[in-house]
Structure 1
Amino acid sequence: MTSTAAHRRPTPIDAIADAYVRRTAELDPLSATAMGIDGFDHLMTDYSPAGWQAQADAARDVLAQLDGAEPVDDVDRVTLAAMRERVGLMLELVDAGEVLGHLNNIASPVQGVRDVFAVMATSTPEHWAAIAARLLAVPTATAGIAESLRLAAGQGHVAAARQVQACIDQCRDLAGDESMFTTLVQGPAAQAALGLGHQQVRDDLERGARAAREAYGELATMLQEELLPRAPQADGVGRERYALWSRYFLGATVDLEETYAWGLAELERVVTEQEEVAALVAGPGASVEDAVAVLDADPARVLEGTEALQAWMQRTSDAAIAALDGVHFDIPDPLRTLECCIAPTRTGGIYYTGPSDDFTRPGRMWWSVPPEVTSFTTWREKTTVYHEGVPGHHLQVGQAVHERASLNSWRRLACWVSGHGEGWALYAERLMSDLGHLEDPGDRLGMLDGQRMRAARVVLDIGVHLGLPCPERWGGGTWDADKAWEFLKANVSMPEGFLRFELTRYLGWPGQAPAYKVGQRLWEQARDEARAAAHARGEELDLKEFHARALALGSVGLDVLRDALATG
């Protein structure tokens, strides 16, 4: 996929956006590392109330600058709409008290401080000196997290007890003898880069790892003794908070009751399709459970150990890139490299991290494997490789980074909307099926298993957080965590360790999980609208061109996306 525009002269709005990215990097060095912006890897983000206030002040300042800016072209118009929507919503979250007390099992500052070390460069002694400096700053970061959580608690904002406990467990793991901080500084990458010399860097790394372990131990104590006694038992956040988070994750406003009803109907539709495929796997009349048993018992579909998993992920990813490039997508050379990795954490979850601005750090797919999980089934996971890799996140995120000729750095590097990103990745899974890459009935059942999970969590997430009536089939009464667990087990074929982590994630991250399936729905609507417009002109939609044009916009809110595609 090549850039959709020739080199474009930067505009005053681009200058405002680029300056905001630079300011964001200064205030949030962990985000700078994630974006691949040089010069900040040795620094730590300030998670104290003062640090959050500085980020809010920068957001208000950039919105004021944009109010006086006139767009020069369509790129500017999209930038204005996207920045006003994204930055404005960030400030709504701040004003609603959602930022200081943000705590969950997957995407809060507790995990952010930990996870950045997985994407830092490690090939030179200078890289390891930066890692050491950042490790030594972990105590400052965790102290800031604790300060913000205390202030939020005093204002009546405390995460649910389930999320506090999950963070306590993670903090204790990071403070323990098998901490990832220890394995990081003593691992083969450090030994290879430092050789027999650089004793000062080695000493700093050991001190940094020890400081980071102790800091997480102290944070665990604070969470256990101060926050957990004040944490509510109820998991649901209520309609007002949920509606705000839903807008944040989608970049669009949806009717929550209609979306809940659609989720139930979509779940039934996917189950029907699963049952049709199950008959191909296990014979006429076979249930989905029968087909799963057949597939799980097939030695050719089982991988033993994380080394086998990693190698299979890489082969599958490489094959997808080779098959799609030049046929359904034109993939730039830097995006033809995707590294498949086993994550240093062991909490569960599969995720993608994007390339650096200059592509010296490639895009990476990560699998976080709980210690009790030792075998993996390819029929479940082939579609996941397409979701995280190509044509999913890697193509989507990497294409935005590659659009240097037409987009400013905020559009390329800083903007991420879950409904756009996760919706595209789920759309990509279904696209790969449509393109014939999941013709094997087992692999297709795996794709449908993922689609079923995403439909189920639309129902679960909205149902629990809004306290909606639960269908009698799933227990009746009002949705709660216990009903959600039984519902999830009935609809998702996944090891219990992964499933427990996932449920806790949904309960602590309101509105994020539905963004996948709802985002897919909105992507499909945008495509159908483009097809209808082409038919009105007496033409057929060029799907390759549609995808190129859409992805070249970068990650924007879904309302902004639809407007841009309609007017572009």
Structure 2
Amino acid sequence: MKQRFLLSLLLATMIGCNSPKNEQTTAANTEFATVLDNYFEQRLKLFPVEATQQGDNRYNDQLPNDISQAFITETKSFYTGTQEKLNTFDRAKLSDEDKISYDILKRELALQLEQYAFHQEEIPFNQFTGLTLTFGQLGSGEGAQPFKTVKDYDDWIKRASAFAVWGDTAIAAFRKGMVSGRVLPKSLVVKMIPQMTDLVVSDPTKSLFYGPIQKLPKTFSAADKDRLTASYKKAISEQIVPTYRKLGTFLKDDYLPKARTTSGINVLPQGPELYRYLVRTWTTTNDTPDQIHQIGLTEVARIRSEMEKVKTQVGFNGSLDQFFTHLKTDRKFYPYKKPKDVLDAFQTILAKIEPNLKKDFISTPKSKFEIRQTEKFREASASAEYNQASADGSRPGIFYVPIPDATKFNITSGMESLFLHEAIPGHHYQVSLQQENTSLPKFRRFAWYGAYGEGWALYCESLGKELGLYTDPYQYMGALGDEIHRAIRLVVDVGLHTKQMTREEAIKYMMANEPISEQGATAEIERYMAIPGQALSYKIGALKIRELRSKYEKQLGDKFSLAAFHEEFLKDGCMPLDVLEHKMDAWATRQK
């Protein structure tokens, strides 16, 4: 990519001397690059926690009150100003790469500005997302917030000092929602309360937030160690713990009685409009909720037929529902005794696919990779997940696995497909290669679009056989379980938020169509209730990627290279699906 940019620049220099139009185009591209850079830099100042998560430590001491009206006004002005600057450019005069950036940013700004009409700040957090959870990860000393230097430790104290104000604002925002009718379902609120109260301690040395002090570097002076220890104890006792206590008490005493018994956001003010907006945001398509619902029903039927084949292959006599029960209850599928056994099993999966990765991928990440158990404070309601590496390589990409009880970890749950999705070559390859591509504008190096990123990760699950996995029919059944899980999401997410499907009906539908426990199905359905539309991005994105691959395999015949297809898909980073298809079509034309 960089070579192509340099070649273009050289050609422009050679022929530009006698071409006023070319001079204008070059100048426009330079000005355009400045707009992109300014957008990225100003956005980091507005959202410093995102900067920290990217490994940019300039704003590690800042915690904006991002749910306050002042902050909302500031960000709205920022997006509007950037949009006005973007509109001064003639897209036709931009380079091919800049046209991609133009299309991405234009769409992003429009969606950002559209969100304010829905007042989502009146539900400032839930049991899956929000600062209350992120704050714990940052302050534990095990997350993205660095604790290596004295300045690092001082930065966190300054950042933590703003948490109490944020907590008060969150309560005020919830109260506005209680008046306007924008409230969470009761079933979600009861899960949020212990997340607050579990972080309330009387002894600051027993707090999650005392973790960094327990790991004070030996190189620190005695004076610094004493000062920081005292500061952290004071911050925990006087700011952090009181804020979590206040939030927990408010949720239990004031908010829970006002929470709703309905499941979908269609009952909220502007609920139907908000859901259509979220569908467009998460899928990066113009598909309607009804269209997506029908895709889900079709995919569920197709994958169930594949499951029937596996049931026959292993010689199970009984219905598919009985086979699901067998997979969930037979003790032979629960071989692990301790968390290390589970983590070692994932390491074995990595070792198995490594030889085949070289065949299907040209570029691989420089960023290091680790497999870790999810922290105790959040594992009860956590799913397996990937936390991205820092761009500078100082922090590895981490595949987190929640293991509350290793003896209840089921090997047929799709361990191989889970690893392909969350770890390698899924999120770790996609996110790391994007961040490491310094020729991309920074706003694209660190961008995220669920339909692209989650679509890619789900597509990677379909590479199992090509990478040497799924040789065990039970692991393949697990992969089908993961695939049908994403198809079910299309049915229940749309059902919950547009078709009056209840929480209980959605749980029942999920359990009838995949081998999942009631506890697991409940956590999943409550996630879709908390984050409407997000769950749609996986299957919609994966179907588009597979559609593109099949199209180019047919068009190019012997000229099609899977490794080259993957390279082209990944090299320019996250983008909306329509922008992606246009880019990939141009690639296919060049291959001919």
> Which of 10, 17, 25 pairs up with 2:36?
17
Q: Deviations over 1:256-280 (max 9, x none)?
A: 2222122112112111111211233
Matches within 5 A, 1:75-474: 75-117=97-139, 118-176=143-201, 182-186=207-211, 190-191=215-216, 197=222, 198-210=225-237, 211-238=239-266, 239-283=272-316, 287=320, 289-290=322-323, 293=326, 297=330, 302-317=335-350, 319-320=352-353, 322-335=354-367, 337-344=368-375, 345-346=378-379, 347-369=381-403, 371=404, 374-380=407-413, 381-405=415-439, 407-413=440-446, 415-467=447-499
Give the SS at the match of 1:87. Answer: helix
> Which of 501, 514, 522 pairs up with 1:479?
501
**Which residue does the alignment assign to 1:43?**
62
Aligned partner letter, 2:350: S
After superposition, the Cα gap between the structure-2 partners of 1:89 and 1:459, relative to the gap in structure 1 and judged at 3 Å, is same
Partners of 1:181 and 1:496 in 2: CA distance: 33
Q: Is contact 1:456–1:488 with CA below 8 Å preserved after alignment? A: yes
**Which residue does the alignment assign to 1:30?**
49
**Which residue does the alignment assign to 1:474?**
none
Give the SS at the match of 1:447. Answer: helix
Q: Is contact 1:396–1:554 with CA below 8 Å preserved after alignment? A: yes
Partners of 1:178 and 1:303 in 2: CA distance: 35
Aligned partner letter, 2:584: L
Matched, 1:524 2:543: no
Deviation at 1:518, TM superposition (A): 1.7
Give the SS at the match of 1:555. Answer: coil
After superposition, the Cα gap between the structure-2 partners of 1:112 and 1:13, relative to the gap in structure 1 and judged at 3 Å, is farther
Deviation at 1:226, TM superposition (A): 3.7
Partners of 1:331 and 1:540 in 2: CA distance: 19
After superposition, the Cα gap between the structure-2 partners of 1:291 and 1:246, relative to the gap in structure 1 and judged at 3 Å, is closer
Q: Is contact 2:454–2:538 with CA below 8 Å preserved after alignment? A: yes
**Unpaired segments ≥5 residues, structure 1:** 468-477
Q: Is contact 2:452–2:575 with CA below 8 Å preserved after alignment? A: yes
Deviation at 1:158, TM superposition (A): 2.5
**Unpaired segments ≥5 residues, structure 2:** 10-28, 267-271, 588-592
Aligned partner letter, 2:171: A
Give the SS at the match of 1:341. Answer: strand
Aligned partner letter, 1:251: T
After superposition, the Cα gap between the structure-2 partners of 1:315 and 1:14, relative to the gap in structure 1 and judged at 3 Å, is farther
Partners of 1:230 and 1:422 in 2: CA distance: 35
Give the SS at the match of 1:304. Answer: coil
Give the SS at the match of 1:303. Answer: coil
**Which residue does the alignment assign to 1:470?**
none
After superposition, the Cα gap between the structure-2 partners of 1:314 and 1:182, relative to the gap in structure 1 and judged at 3 Å, is farther
After superposition, the Cα gap between the structure-2 partners of 1:289 and 1:339, relative to the gap in structure 1 and judged at 3 Å, is farther
Q: Is contact 1:279–1:291 with CA below 8 Å preserved after alignment? A: no
Partners of 2:460 and 2:127 in 1: CA distance: 27
Deviation at 1:463, TM superposition (A): 1.0
**Which residue does the alignment assign to 1:566?**
585
Q: Is contact 1:329–1:544 with CA below 8 Å preserved after alignment? A: yes
Partners of 1:441 and 1:328 in 2: CA distance: 23
Deviation at 1:3, TM superposition (A): 7.4
Partners of 2:342 and 2:491 in 1: CA distance: 31
**Which residue does the alignment assign to 2:567?**
548
Partners of 2:173 and 2:583 in 1: CA distance: 38
**Which residue does the alignment assign to 1:63?**
83
Q: Is contact 2:360–2:566 with CA below 8 Å preserved after alignment? A: no
Q: Deviations over 1:347-387 (max 9, x none)?
A: 22111121212121121112234x46653233422211110
After superposition, the Cα gap between the structure-2 partners of 1:186 and 1:363, relative to the gap in structure 1 and judged at 3 Å, is closer
Q: Is contact 1:274–1:288 with CA below 8 Å preserved after alignment? A: no
Partners of 1:294 and 1:502 in 2: CA distance: 19
Partners of 2:109 and 2:45 in 1: CA distance: 17
After superposition, the Cα gap between the structure-2 partners of 1:466 and 1:562, relative to the gap in structure 1 and judged at 3 Å, is same
After superposition, the Cα gap between the structure-2 partners of 1:272 and 1:330, relative to the gap in structure 1 and judged at 3 Å, is same
Provide the aligned length of Structure 1 versus Structure 2.
549
Give the SS at the match of 1:365. Answer: strand
Deviation at 1:396, TM superposition (A): 0.7
Deviation at 1:89, TM superposition (A): 0.9
Partners of 1:518 and 1:97 in 2: CA distance: 27
Deviation at 1:181, TM superposition (A): 8.3
After superposition, the Cα gap between the structure-2 partners of 1:34 and 1:412, relative to the gap in structure 1 and judged at 3 Å, is same
Partners of 1:76 and 1:384 in 2: CA distance: 35
Aligned partner letter, 1:199: D
Partners of 1:195 and 1:491 in 2: CA distance: 56
Partners of 1:326 and 1:222 in 2: CA distance: 54
Return 419-428 or 196-205, whichever deviates more: 196-205
Partners of 1:216 and 1:127 in 2: CA distance: 23
Partners of 2:412 and 2:308 in 1: CA distance: 16
Partners of 1:449 and 1:236 in 2: CA distance: 25
Q: Is contact 1:422–1:519 with CA below 8 Å preserved after alignment? A: yes
Deviation at 1:157, TM superposition (A): 2.6
Deviation at 1:331, TM superposition (A): 3.5
Deviation at 1:424, TM superposition (A): 0.9
- TM-score under structure 1 length normalisation: 0.88
Deviation at 1:288, TM superposition (A): 6.3
- Which gives a bigger RCO, structure 1 or 2 (Cα 8 Å, sep 6+)? 1
Deviation at 1:154, TM superposition (A): 4.2
Deviation at 1:116, TM superposition (A): 3.7
Aligned partner letter, 1:411: R
After superposition, the Cα gap between the structure-2 partners of 1:158 and 1:270, relative to the gap in structure 1 and judged at 3 Å, is same
Partners of 1:433 and 1:50 in 2: CA distance: 53
After superposition, the Cα gap between the structure-2 partners of 1:488 and 1:288, relative to the gap in structure 1 and judged at 3 Å, is closer
Partners of 2:515 and 2:202 in 1: CA distance: 33
Aligned partner letter, 1:201: L
After superposition, the Cα gap between the structure-2 partners of 1:57 and 1:149, relative to the gap in structure 1 and judged at 3 Å, is farther
Partners of 1:188 and 1:332 in 2: CA distance: 36
Aligned partner letter, 1:222: F
Deviation at 1:492, TM superposition (A): 3.5
Q: Is contact 1:13–1:69 with CA below 8 Å preserved after alignment? A: yes
Q: Is contact 2:364–2:429 with CA below 8 Å preserved after alignment? A: no
Q: Is contact 2:444–2:573 with CA below 8 Å preserved after alignment? A: yes
> Which of 512, 531, 537 pairs up with 1:509?
531
Give the SS at the match of 1:200. Answer: helix
Partners of 1:18 and 1:129 in 2: CA distance: 29
After superposition, the Cα gap between the structure-2 partners of 1:96 and 1:168, relative to the gap in structure 1 and judged at 3 Å, is same
Q: Is contact 2:327–2:333 with CA below 8 Å preserved after alignment? A: no
Partners of 1:193 and 1:299 in 2: CA distance: 47
Give the SS at the match of 2:409. Answer: strand
Deviation at 1:550, TM superposition (A): 1.3
Q: Deviations over 1:38-86 (max 9, x none)?
A: 2112221322222232222211121111111245311111111111112
Return 326-335 or 20-29, whichever deviates more: 326-335
Partners of 1:480 and 1:4 in 2: CA distance: 55
